[in-house]
Structure formats: structure tokens, C-alpha cells
């Protein structure tokens, strides 16, 4: 990795300052979204009685991975499930921004620093991190999968990790699978048969 140019350093500084500004909306951690509150309450109950549907939980079948993550982290750290969910959502928003910038830079050749700043100014990329929700957890995992798929490696084993990430996205929120058709063009490298084989392989992993 070479030394950053002056312009790259300026773009990085601007990005860091903007992140600090937008992060103001994250604090103080406070449960304000009804669905997120019900999810955290459901996870608290599951920590006592086992992971599974409960009258308190919000649509367990739609986001079982979120409940599993909250229960595990609650048992490991002892932290309140609401605070865990809020923190995970904020961190996932940051991951989504960073990975999406990498994806765009890889796909288009745009400067990475500029891509970060542009994505940061899309309202959904920041606002979705201000409250506890499953969308951003699934989005971060899916974006990471897209980044790894943008230039698929020659070896078939390289398709494993993107498939795992897409599967994780669906585990966090099942309707993330609706986005999977956008993956197919990224796998095309000039041969239709190869595209079909790669798509089937990744689909099976997912």
C-alpha cells in the first residue's frame, strides 16, 4: 500500500469529521422505535426461556438472526438488549457506509475517499443507524457480500464467503433475499455456462 496523496488525506479527514457530525444522532442511546423495542424485549425473554417465537417478540420468523445475536451478546456481556440493539445498528450503519464505498470504488474506479463522502450524504445510510432495526444489520452483511462479489476470484472456494454473507443477511432479515438478483450480473465474466455454475454455487451456499 502506497503513501496517501494530499487529496486522499483531505478526503479522509473530511469523512472522519462528517462521521463525527452524523454520529451525534446516535447518542444518547434511547429506544424510540416500536418494532425495535419489541424485538429487544423479545430477546430479553428469550434469554431466559430459549430462542423462539414469543408473544412479546416482533415477527421472530422475519429476523431470527437478530434475536440470536441479541440473546448471545446479552448473555456474554450482561448488557441491556435495547442498548445492544442500538449499538449494533449504529455500528452496522458505519460498516454499510465503508463497505459500500469500497464496492463502488472497486466497480467504477472512483476514488475511495470521494465514494465514502458521497455515500455518507445519502440520508438512509446514516438515519438507519439512529434507531434499533434489523434492516441495517441485513444491509451491512449484504453490502459486504456485494463487495466480495464485484470481482469474484478464479477459484470456486472464493464464492463461499459472499454466499455466507448473503445467507447472514437473510438470517438477519429474510426479505434481504429479494435483493439477490442484483448479484447475478456481478458474477458474469463473459461465459454464460460459467455464470450459471457460479450463481448456483453461491445460491447453494447462501
Average pLDDT, the chain: 88
What's the Cα-to-Cα distance from 118 to each of 15, 146, 147, 151, 179, rounded to whole Å?
A: 9, 18, 17, 22, 22
User: What is the rounded CA–CA span in Å between residue 58 and residue 60?
Assistant: 6
User: What is the rounded CA–CA span in Å between residue 142 and residue 163?
Assistant: 10
The angle, 0 to 180 degrees and rounded to 10, between the axes of the packed helices 112-120 and 81-108 is: 130
Looking at 33-42, 157-166, 186-195, which range is the least confident one?
A: 186-195
pLDDT at site 40: 94
- pLDDT single digits (tens) 96-115: 999 999 999 988 889 999 99
Inform me whether the pLDDT recorded for 2 exceeds 70: no
pLDDT at site 195: 72
- The closest alpha carbon to 176, from 187, 163, 162, 166, belongs to 166
Inform me whether the pLDDT recorded for 69 exceeds 90: yes
Work out the average pLDDT over 145-161.
75
Q: Cα 45–51–54 angle (5° rounding)? A: 55
- The closest alpha carbon to 5, from 114, 157, 156, 151, belongs to 114
- pLDDT single digits (tens) 17-63: 999 999 888 888 788 888 999 999 999 999 999 998 888 888 899 99
Work out the average pLDDT over 80-90.
95
Which residues contact residue 64 at a Cβ distance below 8 angstroms, ignoring those fewer than 6 apart? 51, 171
pTM > 0.85: yes or no: yes
pLDDT at site 152: 58
Amino acid at each position: 500500500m502506497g503513501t496517501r496523496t494530499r487529496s486522499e488525506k483531505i478526503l479522509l479527514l473530511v469523512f472522519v469529521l462528517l462521521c463525527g457530525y452524523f454520529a451525534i444522532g446516535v447518542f444518547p442511546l434511547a429506544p424510540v422505535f416500536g418494532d425495535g423495542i419489541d424485538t429487544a424485549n423479545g430477546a430479553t425473554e428469550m434469554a431466559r426461556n430459549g430462542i423462539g417465537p414469543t408473544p412479546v417478540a416482533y415477527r421472530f420468523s422475519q429476523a431470527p438472526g437478530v434475536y440470536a445475536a441479541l440473546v448471545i451478546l446479552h448473555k456474554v456481556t450482561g448488557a441491556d438488549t435495547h442498548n445492544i440493539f442500538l449499538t449494533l445498528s449504529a455500528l452496522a450503519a458505519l460498516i454499510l457506509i465503508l463497505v459500500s464505498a469500497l464496492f463502488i470504488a472497486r466497480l467504477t474506479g472512483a476514488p475511495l475517499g470521494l465514494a465514502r463522502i458521497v455515500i455518507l450524504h445519502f440520508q438512509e445510510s446514516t438515519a438507519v443507524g439512529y434507531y434499533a432495526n434489523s434492516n441495517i444489520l441485513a444491509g451491512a452483511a449484504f453490502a459486504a457480500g456485494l463487495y466480495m462479489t464485484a470481482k469474484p476470484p478464479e477459484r470456486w472456494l472464493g464464492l463461499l464467503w459472499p454466499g455466507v454473507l448473503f445467507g447472514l443477511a437473510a438470517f438477519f432479515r429474510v426479505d434481504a433475499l429479494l435483493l439477490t438478483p442484483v448479484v447475478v450480473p456481478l458474477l458474469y465474466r463473459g461465459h454464460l455456462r460459467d455464470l450459471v455454475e457460479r450463481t448456483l454455487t453461491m445460491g447453494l451456499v447462501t
